[in-house]
Amino acid sequence: MKKILFLLFVGICAFAACDPVSEDISNGGHITLDELKAKSSVTVDKAPNGQNGNVITCTTSAPVNAKWTVGGKDILGNYAWKKMKLGEHVVVLTAVCPDGTELVAEYPVSCQEITDPLQKYYIYGSPDNADETPFVPGAWDAAAMRFSSTEGAHLPTISDDVYYGLKTLIFDVSDVTDDFDLKVMNGWWSNTYYDHVKWVSGLNELQITETMAKECAKGGEGRDLDLMLYSGSMTLNSVYYEE
């Protein structure tokens, strides 16, 4: 009988040890930054030639609430995975211990070879849509670049998946003048997200934030993302995001 009770006790302890909520991490629910790093890893896949690929994988087994910031995107959880552009990146792990202590760890990463190509998802200007042609918005014409299928002159409504996915919008523009000055707001003029933005001919990125998603998505307040030129000129060729 004593043997049976002992085995039952061992089994209960083993089960509790697998549960991060029940795990004793000492110091009133606090771990150190070194302990966090010891339980976490950031890796890249490998190309056939041995160079780093462009897929970053992040994991942590630390008993914390974890947020990974990869390429400007916040991913909550002990696991994160993201395809990246080539170049040097810094992955940030923000961890909140059970006692409320916040720890931040940074991981420099280099992506050297495309092992999993990024795919373009067009919002406007898809090569497969002949109707979505380049256009030149006028200064102070707030309707011209409002992302609304009903109120915008050219641009379609952005889906909630794009907003709440906090996508990075890429604007392919050309013929940008030196006096170019842009405001990023919502269609009701009630909030400005980026002001006096300077673009150059080529590709320019615009990060959707949580505030923008809440206020502009149809599943939120439904105010539509709106871009307006203060001055200058450009030709807008396409808008897309990559994953």
pLDDT at 124: 97
pLDDT in tens, the chain (243 residues): 333 333 333 343 333 333 333 344 444 578 999 999 999 999 999 999 999 999 999 999 999 999 999 988 889 999 999 999 999 999 999 999 999 999 999 999 999 999 999 999 999 999 999 999 999 999 999 999 999 998 766 899 999 999 999 999 999 999 999 999 999 999 999 999 999 999 999 999 999 999 999 999 999 999 999 999 999 999 999 999 999
Compute the distance between CA of residue 63 and CA of residue 99 in angstroms, rounded to an integer. Answer: 11
pLDDT at 73: 84
pLDDT at 13: 35
Give 192's contacts (C-beta < 8 A, 6+ positions apart): 183, 184, 185
Give 20's contacts (C-beta < 8 A, 6+ positions apart): 63
